[in-house]
């Protein structure tokens, strides 16, 4: 699926929580436990401090103040991303090999520089064509036979379609690397375009979209969010489509999927990443054997029209009648992914809402209890500017107040000074998080693939971490002032239009969208700065 949904692994969440402890500990004085009742006869006497898990002194007095707070972090450990070996086959297929001999395993990934951005006039075709490589079978094998062969290796066949790329990958033991290269080659080069299997896949995709349209407020909000943020004069920006609707999928025929495959899945539009307990020599020999005879030219490059920061606050309300909850998305543009401003922007985002220590979580959720969850993200693409977004899930009655809080924080991020402790926590997290990301061979493989997709150099991760560590308040504040501009954003709310159009009109003109009518505009509500933003709570909402 081609969704862009930043997620936080359990490891990242744990690290974010640990890094936030110094801030949390400083936010309020430690509370003294209440006096305990006298123990009954024969019961052991346990010192209060020990009963509460706190350190105890020999004489039973309270521990000194400096033993209440956790120790300060030490110097971050040294870090270096593994070296990448490069070579290219005669047919134009580029190969990247990352040696990681810590375990006898490897991850094999074939990446194509075409994703859902290449859908053109057929939204959903890239995702359907990609999934069909697995669902349709290959060569002399049916889909079931193909998956049986994959499972016999103790692996799974992963097909991923994002905005800028598509990939076929497997994780295997060291002695099955050549077999996995053979299987991936068969899938990429000899797919079976069976009409009956395609109809089954298409039906599953249409059911998925129908389910999302009915029950996923975030999905509904993003359908409009990307369309409006990447709106151009000709309405054809490659990033403007978040996902396909059921009607759009219905119009993607088998010959459309086959044509997309023939155009985009070629050796000159691809690169191979092999990471793990391997050597460049072994990989090159196997790559020549299984991919050397593959032929095909690169597709024509796409045109990415220029997009600009929103000139004002534009509000779009995706109607979800009788919904008890609302999903809010606020977005604007940041620098290109390759910009020197990127490290400082990431630090600013971490301060704003990159985790449980961020301003959004601590204020909007914890202090004001306005949202179930609230975070901010920065997402880079292979072309054009990056995306800055703030999101929150809240009750219908609190939607106006929550949006007001998000817009206040957007403005404050670019106008108010940073707290040194906030920045220290943010940069420490961003720097040290790389150590968690390097825990698995599969993660290193994905990071290596990202370098190729985004056009970044082999030393990028080392340079990025060094840049983050060297950030100071002035640099981050200057970058935040440049990109976090109050009064310039696209706002999309998925919720009950009948109840929300009034409160939202307080912030600007509201455009109401009907998701059941291909996300078309059904009405507009004029700006009313005197409108009340807080609603009375109705039972169940």
CA dihedral 440, 444, 450, 456 (to 10 degrees): 150
- Buried b or exposed e, range 424-452, using 16+ CB within 10 angstroms: bbbbbbbbbbbeebbebbbbbbbbbbbbb
Whole-number pLDDT of residue 541:
60
Please give the Cα distance from 141 to 208 (Å, whole number).
Answer: 27
146 within 8 A of 134, measured Cβ to Cβ: yes
Whole-number pLDDT of residue 33:
39
- Give how far Cα 294 sits from Cα of 190, 270, 370, Å: 10, 11, 56
Please give the Cα distance from 270 to 94 (Å, whole number).
Answer: 7
Q: What is the 3-state secondary structure (H, E, C) of 123-151?
A: CCHHHHHHHHHHHCCECCECHHHHHHHHH
- Provide the CATH topology of domain 84-291: Cytochrome Bc1 Complex; Chain A, domain 1 (3.30.830)
- Give how far Cα 223 sits from Cα of 68, 110, 220, 539, Å: 48, 29, 5, 29
Is the Cα dihedral 194, 200, 205, 210 positive or negative? positive
- Which uninterrupted H or E stretch holds 519? none
Q: What is the 3-state secondary structure (H, E, C) of 446-483?
A: HHHHHHHHHCCCCCHHHHHHHHHHCCCHHHHHHHHHHH
Please give the Cα distance from 426 to 480 (Å, whole number).
Answer: 14
Whole-number pLDDT of residue 537:
79
Paired tokens of 243 = 């996902």
Q: Which of 498, 518, 241 is nearest to 510 (CA)?
A: 498
Strand boundaries in 281-363, DSSP class E: 313-319, 325-336
Q: Where are the alpha helices (DSSP H) in 80-216?
A: 125-135, 143-152, 177-189, 195-215
CATH class of 313-525: alpha beta
Kindly report the pTM of this predicted structure.
0.85
- Give how far Cα 95 sits from Cα of 190, 267, 288, 330, 469, Å: 20, 11, 10, 39, 32
Please give the Cα distance from 116 to 74 (Å, whole number).
Answer: 44
- Which residues, given as ranges, of the chain have pLDDT below 50? 1-63
Whole-number pLDDT of residue 473:
96
All CATH 3.30.830.10 domain ranges in the chain, comma separated:
84-291, 313-525
Read off the DSSP letter of residue 45.
P
């Amino acid at each position: 699926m081609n969704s862009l949904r930043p997620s936080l692994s359990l490891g990242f969440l744990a690290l974010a929580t640990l890094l936030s402890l110094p801030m949390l500990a400083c936010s309020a004085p430690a509370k003294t436990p209440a006096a305990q009742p006298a123990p009954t006869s024969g019961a052991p006497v346990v010192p209060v401090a020990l009963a509460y898990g706190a350190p105890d002194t020999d004489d039973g007095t309270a521990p000194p103040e400096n033993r209440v707070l956790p120790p300060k972090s030490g110097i971050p450990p040294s870090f270096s991303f593994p070296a990448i070996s490069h070579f290219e086959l005669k047919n134009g297929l580029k190969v990247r090999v990352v040696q990681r001999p810590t375990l006898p395993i490897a991850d094999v990934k074939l990446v194509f520089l075409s994703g859902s951005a290449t859908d053109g006039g057929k939204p959903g075709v890239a995702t359907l064509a990609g999934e069909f490589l697995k669902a349709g079978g290959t060569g002399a094998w049916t889909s079931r036979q193909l998956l049986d062969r994959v499972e016999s290796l103790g692996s799974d066949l992963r097909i991923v379609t994002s905005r800028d790329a598509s990939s076929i990958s497997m994780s295997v033991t060291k002695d099955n690397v050549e077999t996995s290269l053979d299987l991936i080659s068969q899938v990429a080069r000899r797919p079976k375009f069976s009409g009956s299997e395609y109809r089954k896949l298409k039906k599953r995709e249409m059911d998925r979209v129908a389910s999302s349209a009915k029950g996923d407020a975030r999905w509904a909000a993003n359908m409009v969010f990307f369309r409006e943020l990447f709106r151009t004069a000709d309405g054809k920006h490659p990033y403007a489509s978040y996902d396909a609707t059921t009607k759009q999928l219905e119009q993607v025929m088998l010959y459309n999927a086959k044509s997309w495959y023939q155009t985009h899945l070629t050796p000159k539009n691809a690169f191979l990443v092999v990471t793990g307990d391997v050597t460049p020599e072994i990989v090159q020999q196997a790559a020549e054997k299984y991919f050397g005879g593959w032929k095909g030219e690169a597709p024509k490059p796409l045109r990415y029209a220029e997009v600009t920061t929103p000139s004002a606050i534009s509000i779009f309300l995706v109607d979800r009648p009788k919904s008890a909850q609302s999903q809010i998305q606020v977005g604007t543009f940041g620098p290109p992914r390759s910009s020197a401003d990127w490290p400082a922007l990431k630090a600013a985002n971490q301060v704003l809402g990159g985790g449980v220590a961020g301003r959004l979580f601590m204020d909007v959720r914890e202090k004001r209890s306005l949202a179930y969850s609230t975070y901010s993200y920065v997402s880079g693409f292979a072309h054009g500017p990056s995306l800055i977004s703030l999101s929150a899930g809240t009750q219908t009655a609190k939607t106006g107040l929550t949006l007001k809080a998000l817009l206040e924080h957007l403005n404050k991020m670019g106008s108010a000074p940073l707290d040194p402790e906030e920045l220290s926590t943010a940069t420490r997290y961003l720097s040290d998080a790389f150590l968690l990301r390097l825990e698995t061979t599969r993660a290193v493989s994905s990071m290596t693939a990202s370098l190729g997709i985004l056009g970044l150099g082999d030393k990028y991760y080392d340079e990025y971490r060094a840049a983050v560590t060297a950030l100071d308040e002035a640099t981050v504040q200057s970058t935040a002032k440049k990109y976090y501009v109050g009064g310039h954003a696209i706002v999309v709310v998925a919720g009950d239009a009948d109840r929300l159009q009034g409160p939202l009109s307080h912030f600007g003109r509201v455009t109401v969208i009907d998701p059941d009518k291909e996300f078309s505009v059904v009405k507009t509500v004029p700006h009313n700065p005197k409108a009340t933003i807080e609603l009375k709570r109705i039972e169940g909402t």
